[in-house]
Amino acid sequence: MKKFQFLDSTRGIAVLLVLLVHSGAVSELFGIKAAVAAFGQRGVQLFYEVSAFSLLYSVNARGESSWRAFFIRRFFRIAPLFYLSMAANWVATVWIGKGSPLTAGAYLSGILFLFGFHPDTINAVAPAGWSIAVETTFYALFPLLALAINSLRRAVTLTAVTTLGCFLFCYHAHGLPIHGLPSEYLEFLWFPAQAPVFCMGFVAYYAWKDLVPTDQCDFCPLCIPDSRRARRIASAILMGAGLAVLAASFPASNHSLYVDSFALLLVLLALALWPWQLFVNPLTAWIGKLSYSVYLVHPYLRAAVSAALDWLWLRHSVNVFGTYYGLILTLGLFLSGSLLIAAFTYPCIEKPGIQLGQWIIQRWHLSSRRRQAPIDLAATPNDFTHMTESEQLQLLKRRLRASYFAWMVSLACMLGFAVLYHNDDPQKIDRPIAQYREQVVQYQSQLDALSAGLLQNQRELKDTQKQLLQVMADYRNAIETIKRLQSRPPG
């Protein structure tokens, strides 16, 4: 199976965006600077689109008839490092921080990758783990989606339907029983809010497959010059359109999630058509190769990065807070520290996990059972056309129906739990919705004002600490001068 550098480079860009948003929080930005840093949260959506794109390509390129191989690969790709992050989070919060541990059910939900179905666990079992919960839910649904969506037309239809449905469901759920759940969970964190983003990755894949034949997609000198020129022009148009949409929807917010994701779809397709050196290069590809480790380890560096910034401000008078210079410096500290740790976790944890999954697949002879006919990605308009009438496909569909019946039952249980979660506070039911919204807005404005005042007090405290250090240094110099004068002989 051919490897494409633009996929690794896009993952590298995505993880850099994630580091950007966390760097903005550490460097205490406000105003337009904070909005620039907050745009980095769209790196997760770029991850999702690349994930859908690469999974479709790998599944169709391998042509395996058993989905068990797919699930084994995904589990051993994700689980080892995530379990290590869970253990590290327990050590940091319970053993070192002396905090209260989570419940046994929370840890069990993390081990089973079900922690995304509750707002209290989705971000608790591991730092930045909410996206892993969403990703694993997509893995569970991917076989059914791959069988149902086998053309660009179907991918576009599904994207349009899911975008409209999820927007109405997640952003206008005030009349539904689930509206008592936290708004951040409803509008951003859980899988239904992010499902259309994965569908956009399907659109990018089928658009790329239809636009770029596989015998010309490696950008080699044998490509027809006119075709290369056409792809370059189309890529430039798509890149410009994507960046223009991102600029028009700036600053990023939950309500612009799908608009920004559509713009990232255009950017991904542009890089698939032509690898612009500014984005697709050995550095971004190397960062993308280590992106999973970088994503999971960088939250543990927050305290160290914050201490380094305080040291630069107090000891060397380097103004790193509230400036773009501080944002770039913080991003560099996060990136360098994360890459240093990822250089160990990738070969020692990720790679052995991948090899173990591949060994299990070979041991169970799952990779040797191919589909009845080889797949021609360039000429076949429907990747599963040759399987339409096969008994093997019918058997696979029956098994998937049974599996996803159990999956839908679990989702129904989750919705029932959401109703109970809402009914725990009967005052929310009796309180008028308009009054509740007004109070939420007031509390949010008060919280913003208190946060701004707190950060201002922190800066004043740092200035006072700096002045105190200078006074202490002058005091020590005066003491040494007095001692020298006292030790001098009379006359």
- CB distance 331 to 43 below 8 Å: no
The pLDDT of residue 137 is 94
Determine the distance from the C-alpha atom of residue 92 to the mean position of all C-alpha atoms in its chain, rounded to a whole number: 22
Q: What is the pLDDT of residue 488?
A: 64
Whole-number Å distance between alpha carbons of 195 and 170: 11
The answer to whether the CB of 61 falls within 8 A of the CB of 2 is yes
Q: Provide the pLDDT for residue 222.
A: 38
For residue 310, what are the CA distances in angstroms to 21, 187, 327, 346?
A: 19, 35, 14, 31
Six-digit token string for 435: 């009054």
Tell me the pTM: 0.75
Question: Using N-to-C axis directions, what is the helix angle for 191-211 and 257-273, rounded to 10°?
Answer: 30
Give the burial class of 69: count Cβ atoms within 10 A of its Cβ; 0-12 exposed, 13-18 middle, 19 or more buried: buried
Which amino acid, one-letter code, is at 12?
G
- Return the pLDDT at 237: 94
Q: Are 134 and 48 in contact (CB under 8 A)?
A: yes
- pLDDT score of 446: 73
Predicted local distance difference test score (pLDDT) of residue 245: 93
pLDDT at 47: 96
pLDDT of the chain, 491 residues: tens digit per residue: 567 889 999 999 999 999 999 999 898 888 888 889 999 999 999 999 999 999 999 888 877 667 888 999 999 999 999 999 999 999 999 988 888 888 898 999 999 999 998 888 998 999 989 999 999 999 999 988 888 888 899 999 999 999 998 888 887 765 565 656 788 888 888 899 999 999 999 999 999 988 765 544 444 443 444 578 888 898 999 999 999 999 998 888 888 899 999 999 999 999 999 999 999 999 999 999 999 999 999 999 999 999 898 888 888 777 788 888 889 999 999 999 999 999 999 999 999 999 999 999 888 877 654 444 444 444 444 444 444 446 666 666 665 655 555 555 555 555 555 544 444 444 443 344 445 555 666 676 677 677 677 777 777 787 787 788 788 878 888 887 787 777 766 65
> What values do phi and psi take at 370, rounded to 5?
-95, 165
d(CA 467, CA 462): 9
- What pLDDT sits at residue 427? 43
What are residue 453's phi and psi, to 5 degrees? -65, -40
* Coil, strand or helix at 370: strand
